[in-house]
Amino acid sequence: MPQSHKHHHHRGAVFLAGAGPGDPELLTLRALRLLKQADVIVYDHLVAPAILALARRGAQRIYAGKERGNHTMPQDEINALLVKLARAGHRVVRLKGGDPLIFGRGGEEAEALARSNVYFEIVPGITAASGVAAYAGIPLTHRDCAHACIFVAGHLKNGSVDLDWPALARPAQTIVVYMGLLGLPVLSRELIAHGLPAAMPAAIVQQGTSASQRVVTGTLESLPRLALTAGLHAPTLIIVGEVVRLREKLNWFVPPEDRGEGAALEAARLSSAATAAAVEPSAPPQISPLRRAM
């Protein structure tokens, strides 16, 4: 039977929400509304401070970020925390960079909530692949050169880079690698070994969609050296494929620090939540009546 809104509100609820790739204006209206009404926000490392600034002033903020080799809170503890907060009657926003279900462990958290019979909803966000590629001027698909796109994580649970290389090296597709900076030399070597041309265009984007965005382009063979020379650091996104050639024509976004006149205004837009805050909703978050009891 469907659970009533009133019953959910009393028992608490968890909203697994995507914060998008960085620029506060890429936050969805749904996520913004929930932030304005949340009792507690459990947020990740990649959530921009300007997005946190949009939250209700009295909301409790709990950092549960994970950086490579430095997990503030293990995943099991995060799962248990979400259950505990909801059972205490709180409206909890579990805020994740990008989209919660694309390399965001949102599926694991949703499973834990379902096992505990805690009401939850999933609020999709703009994932890094689409957001960062757009701001880098790189279409992920294009009729002339890429008919498919594949997303992979650049490091696995044990820290290795052991991917399905033959599947990745297929022609006419774009490869997008999340969290791949440290594994970039292995990625390049293996893709070339499995048949991709050494001259295949490739790009790496640091802090995409933000005022600090940096883009380095080269070839599959040269990109590891170029990224090292540029001194790039996480978070980064790697894009491999013929579509990278289009950046030269489609590069519309220039970070404020690389511009002259007007840069200060753009920097303010990217670092401030003023525009998004202007659409602050007054209604509480609506919980779908279609959600079924588990």
Give the contacts of 255 (CB within 8 A, at least 6 positions apart).
Answer: 210, 211, 212, 213, 214
Spatial separation of the C-alpha atoms in residues 33 and 13, rounded to whole Å: 15
- Return the closest-CA partner of residue 120 out of 71, 87, 159: 87
Spatial separation of the C-alpha atoms in residues 202 and 157, rounded to whole Å: 25
Annotated catalytic residue: which of 6, 23, 36, 44?
44
Is 66 annotated as catalytic? yes
Spatial separation of the C-alpha atoms in residues 173 and 282, rounded to whole Å: 44
Q: Is 233 exposed, middle or buried, given 0-12, 13-18 or 19+ CB atoms closer than 10 A?
A: exposed
Annotated catalytic residue: which of 6, 23, 39, 66?
66
Give the contacts of 171 (CB within 8 A, at least 6 positions apart).
Answer: none
Is 84 annotated as catalytic? no
- Residue 207 in 3-state DSSP? coil
Question: What residues act catalytically?
Answer: 44, 66
